Amino acid sequence: MKITLGAVVKGGTSLNYKTGSWRDQRPVLNIELCKACGVCESVCPDGAVHLVNEAYRIGYDYCKGCGLCAYECPADAIQMVAEEK
């Protein structure tokens, strides 16, 4: 008999759920300042930053507005701005 209590038995993905609707700030990427280094993509806990046609894009449907991408960007190409609702 197999008993599982309080354990995560199968990982999920946030790509199944649009989780960006509750943020109060959003990152805005200045493409002209971006060095395409990939730091933003690697630190995003939600997988909301992706390289598309040689430029990084932020998927606001999944971005929770934590600001890690802006904080870690070595080119200061990402600024956090108040979310307009």
- Side-chain-side CA neighbours of 48 within 13 Å: the count stands at 25
28/11 Cα distance (integer angstroms): 30
Which residues pair with residue 83 across a beta bridge? none
Segment 38-51, tens digit of pLDDT: 999 999 998 899 99
66/12 Cα distance (integer angstroms): 20
Q: What is the pTM of this model?
A: 0.77
Segment 6-52, tens digit of pLDDT: 555 565 566 677 777 778 999 999 999 999 999 999 999 988 999 99
Domains of the chain with CATH codes: 25-82 (3.30.70.20)
